[in-house]
């Protein structure tokens, strides 16, 4: 299948993909509540006449093209959940669900993947690779990628290469971006509990002030990155919430703090967690308190891009869009992305598709009430999904 044929396939369904995106944009649903979204995805898969599996414990779906003779399996992922944001755009297809919005572009991701299903299914007799299309719930909260991994979507047959994308409003439509090695940081949610002893505020000697200990802990945190971590490594440690105390004249008995830790590799991640734990426990003890660090189990590992697969994205971007349309990102993002649960199990690459159009005032950031996409990006994402798959189809032919 040559490039011109693929591009024509994609152009022929461009309006269909736009309509699909708008239909999903109208019905945003929060993580683990994607019931109508799931039903609509299934209806489209039935229309396309592609086989699929849906899951009872969550709202994930896996469509697939599998031939037992094929020895290579490609996975492609789209996330399907939305955010608790009241939309402020004026489109006819704006959200009809009060307080909910596709403010992160997942509606676009669904449409692109359905477009890829439609095109690749139409040429399935010419495929010598298997393809799994993963429609994943709960990316915004608990890391729904874990659910599909647990449900063995990467097995039987084993996925060899995994692709994922995200629309990005910092990139103009017509450009594609990624980078070698680490693209997204690992994320960990920190829960810190400091326990002291309650007493009357006029008689502090009778109590143990957890609030004083907590304040020293927060101050000490500021020195971990600047004095314990090499300047050549990167981490972010933010305490964003602190609660404690009953009244202005009572010694605070318990303080609860919540924060986030972002790191770019497992060594730094482990070092930071151990150092934070040490600071919490020892400073608490020095003030007569007891301190405990609890790490939520909803953290994401770092997204590590495979070098060969980055090169595939680079090659296909130049094939589809032109020599100058690929951007090699210089620095990783400290934002989290649960695509990392896939790349822990197979080679993978995550890349960004530009959706910004300054002339049309499509400039707003992800996770904002004004966020929008230039719908021309939809055909680009679809083309990249198809071309990435056909790269291995062609490779297998040559082999």
Cα–Cα distances (Å) from 237 to 156, 206, 301, 336, in that order, read 40, 34, 16, 14
Percent of the chain with pLDDT over 90: 93
* pLDDT score for 399: 56
Active-site residue, selected from the candidate residues 29, 34, 79, 338: 79
User: What distance in Å separates the CA atoms of residue 152 and residue 107, rounded to the nearest whole number?
Assistant: 25
Backbone angles phi, psi at 199, to 5 degrees: -160, 170
Quickly tell me which residue has 């799931």 as its tokens.
Answer: 38
140 is catalytic: yes
Q: At what angle do helices 106-122 and 35-48 cross, to 10 degrees?
A: 20
Backbone angles phi, psi at 98, to 5 degrees: -55, 130
324 is catalytic: no
* pLDDT score for 5: 85
User: What distance in Å separates the CA atoms of residue 366 and residue 107, rounded to the nearest whole number?
Assistant: 13
Model confidence pLDDT, tens digit, residues 249-289: 999 999 999 999 999 999 999 999 999 999 999 999 999 99
Neighbours of 226 (CB within 10 A): 8
* pLDDT score for 1: 63
Active-site residue, selected from the candidate residues 140, 188, 254, 337: 140
- Which residue in 337, 188, 333, 355 sits closest to 274, CA to CA? 188
First-last CA distance in the chain: 16
Using DSSP's 3-state secondary structure scheme, residue 304 falls into: strand
* pLDDT score for 119: 97
What would the 3-class secondary structure string for 222-262 be? HHHHHHHCCCCCCEEEEEEEEEECCCCCEECCEEEEEEEEE
Quickly tell me which residue has 């004026």 as its tokens.
Answer: 90
pTM for this model (two decimals): 0.92
* pLDDT score for 3: 79
* pLDDT score for 398: 61
How distant is the alpha carbon of residue 28 from its chain centre? Answer: 17
User: What distance in Å separates the CA atoms of residue 137 and residue 59, rounded to the nearest whole number?
Assistant: 6
* pLDDT score for 396: 72
Extract the residue ranges of the chain whose pLDDT is less than 70.
Answer: 1, 397-399
Model confidence pLDDT, tens digit, residues 161-174: 999 999 999 999 99
Residue 261 near residue 237 (C-beta atoms within 8 A): yes
């Amino acid at each position: 299948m040559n490039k011109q044929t693929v591009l024509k396939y994609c152009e022929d369904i461009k309006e269909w993909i736009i309509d699909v995106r708008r239909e999903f944009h109208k019905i945003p649903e929060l993580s683990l509540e994607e019931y109508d979204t799931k039903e609509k995805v299934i209806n489209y898969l039935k229309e396309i006449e592609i086989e699929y599996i849906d899951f009872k414990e969550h709202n994930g779906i896996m469509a697939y093209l599998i031939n037992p003779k094929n020895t290579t399996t490609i996975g492609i992922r789209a996330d399907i959940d939305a955010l608790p944001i009241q939309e402020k755009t004026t489109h006819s297809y704006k959200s009809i669900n009060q307080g909910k919005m596709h403010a992160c572009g997942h509606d676009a991701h669904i449409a692109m993947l359905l477009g890829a299903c439609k095109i690749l299914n139409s040429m399935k007799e010419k495929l010598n690779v298997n393809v799994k299309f993963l429609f994943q719930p709960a990316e915004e909260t608990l890391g729904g990628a874990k659910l599909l991994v647990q449900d063995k979507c990467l097995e039987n047959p084993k996925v060899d290469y995994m692709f994922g994308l995200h629309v990005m409003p910092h990139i103009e439509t017509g450009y594609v971006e990624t980078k070698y090695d680490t693209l997204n940081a690992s994320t960990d949610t920190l829960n810190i509990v400091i326990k002291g002893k309650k007493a009357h505020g006029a008689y502090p000697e009778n109590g143990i002030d957890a609030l004083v200990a907590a304040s020293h802990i927060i101050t000490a945190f500021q020195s971990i990155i600047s004095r314990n971590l090499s300047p050549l490594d990167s981490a972010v440690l933010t305490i964003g919430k602190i609660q404690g105390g009953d009244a202005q004249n009572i010694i605070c008995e318990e303080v609860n703090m919540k924060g986030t830790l972002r790191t770019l590799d497992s060594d730094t991640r482990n070092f930071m967690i151990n150092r934070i734990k040490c600071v919490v426990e020892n400073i608490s003890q020095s003030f007569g308190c007891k301190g405990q660090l609890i790490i939520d189990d909803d953290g994401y590992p770092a997204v590590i891009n495979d070098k060969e697969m980055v090169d595939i994205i680079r090659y296909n971007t130049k094939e589809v869009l032109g020599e100058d349309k690929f951007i090699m990102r210089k620095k990783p993002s400290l934002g989290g992305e649960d695509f990392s649960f896939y790349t822990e199990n197979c080679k993978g690459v995550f890349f960004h598709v530009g959706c910004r159009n300054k002339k049309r005032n499509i400039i707003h950031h992800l996770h904002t009430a004004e966020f929008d996409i230039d719908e021309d990006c939809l055909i680009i994402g679809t083309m990249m999904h198809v071309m990435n798959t056909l790269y291995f189809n062609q490779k297998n032919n040559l082999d």
